Structure 1
Amino acid sequence: MDWKTFQALLSGVNKYSTAFGRIWLSVVFVFRVMVYVVAAERVWGDEQKDFDCNTKQPGCANVCYDHYFPISHIRLWALQLIFVTCPSLIVVMHVAYRDERERKYRAKHGNKAKLYENTGKKHGGLWWTYLFSLFVKTGIEIAFLYILHKIYDSFYLPRLVKCEVTPCPNQVDCYIGHPTEKKVFTYFMVGASALCIVLNVCEIIYLVSKRVARIAQKMKRRERTLALHERYNKENSCSDCSTLPMSRLEKQSLKPQFPGHLQATLPAHIRASAPNLSSAA
């Protein structure tokens, strides 16, 4: 397997990942891929030759090895790394699809036209694709941990196994090569896988809570806008027209009017405000 090509395919995932996603990718490459390539492959290099049984019966050692190790740890981890990183490629493909749509849209409507504000921003369908990839990665990690535990009955590797499978003549003792090293690397890879599961769950919680907070802010803004609109309508409605301000002519029409011969008998402050109707007549 060419791990450099594999790393190049996933190098673009960092552009569209959150902080948790970047940490997850670092854990995958540093603590899993690098350990797998540098150390684990050498420890499990040819474990079948190191599997030694205290019998010379032809085929007994091979059958016992196949019985206790139906799938090699190293090959199972290789499959796990391939499957667990494939969902990230779905996000890259979705962004590439958006880029292609953006290119066609600009070619049709001009270079200044925009179909997306940012093709790599996690909104709309890309948000759902990213969230789906996290659920798939988490499910794959859990499934492979369950398979590993189910096949070997636990994550612990014993030094000695007893085999009674045909064609062995009787119960024979078989010894695993480098049991301590294999046990250490098994626990390390299981712990790295568990850490990736925790990071995926944290990222799911982060994305969902951020989306819920954004929706809540939009609803608050909408309620505030509706409240201001209703208040404005109430203040400017004509349901009580008596409260509306009157013009200058309307105010003058409401003043008391007296004939000219009666104005002389009125007090000075009333006479000043009353119009002279005799001159108007």
Structure 2
Amino acid sequence: MAMSPEMFQELETMTCLLSGASQLTSRIGRVSLAAFFFVRFGILAVGARSIWMEEEKSFICNSSQLLCAPSCFDEFSPISSFNLFALQLVVLITHALSVTCWNRSTNQAAETQLQAYLRGRKVQVVLHILCLLSRVVIEGIFIFTYYEMSGGFLHPAVTKCHTQLCEKNVICTDLNSFSKNVFSLGLCAVSVLSILICLMEVVISPLHRHPPK
């Protein structure tokens, strides 16, 4: 049974929404980016219940001071990696909504002068490339932020606390460091793969396949 034009357009809109890529992106690229969206959401959902729900309780220090452990935890993890990657997902969803709204506005039957201009092949390709590059920038910013925040891609299991609320030579241990590293590295890997796909789409963009005359 042939797919109606309306159903096909809704399917295209859905893939754009989940992938955050324009309709000029190849279907393989859009499907891959959409799949990565579900992978991110799944990792965050599982990690929220199993690792990050009570992560401060798994941070143990050899100190008798009441406020020492919370202060050391804030020093050790000023921003939870869960919060960072959850914010990344929100930013990517916002980016995808913007791309989807642009796609719908340039496919309306009744066109304004601006919409008619945006329908131009060359302009569409330029905006398509800008969407991909903005996605690359977003992914790169969050990878870099995670790296700087963690002092590397791996959280240390044992750290020395330097806060003034503790006595000298206080050592703290994060019991969930291995699980956090696995989940965080998984999210970083998804970001890297998304960057590679976006860069590949830029290289094989319609601007290179069909140069405007």
Fold similarity call, TM over 0.5: yes
Larger radius of gyration: 1
CA positional deviation for 1:104: 5.9
CA positional deviation for 1:212: 2.9
Residues 196-228 of structure 1: per-residue CA shift (max 9 Å, x gap): 111111111111xx3234228x5xxxxxxxxxx
State the distance in 1 between where 2:20 and 2:84 align: 24
Per the alignment, in what secondary structure is the counterpart of residue 169 of structure 1?
Answer: coil
Identity, % of aligned pairs? 23
- The question of 1:103 aligning with 2:110 is answered yes
Q: 1:28 aligns with which of 20, 24, 37?
A: 37
State the distance in 2 between where 1:12 and 1:169 align: 50
TM-score (norm 2): 0.80
- The question of 1:10 aligning with 2:6 is answered no
Bigger RCO of structures 1 and 2 (CA < 8 A, at least 6 apart): 2
Which structure 1 residue ranges, 5 or more long, are not aligned? 1-6, 106-114, 219-281
Amino acid at match of 2:97: L
Cα distance 1:83–1:158, how it changes in 2: closer, same or farther (>3 A)? same
Question: Counterparts in 2 of 1:46-195, with a 5 A limit?
Answer: 46-100=54-108, 102-103=109-110, 123-195=121-193
Cα distance 1:85–1:130, how it changes in 2: closer, same or farther (>3 A)? farther
State the distance in 2 between where 1:65 and 1:181 align: 17
TM-score (norm 1): 0.62
Aligned residues: 195
Per the alignment, in what secondary structure is the counterpart of residue 162 of structure 1?
Answer: strand
Judge conservation of contact 2:59–2:172 (CA < 8 Å) in 1: yes
State the distance in 1 between where 2:120 and 2:180 align: 41
- The question of 1:215 aligning with 2:211 is answered yes
**In structure 2, what is the equivalent of residue 255 of structure 1?**
none
Residues 56-105 of structure 1: per-residue CA shift (max 9 Å, x gap): 212111111001100001000001112133322222111222244x2367
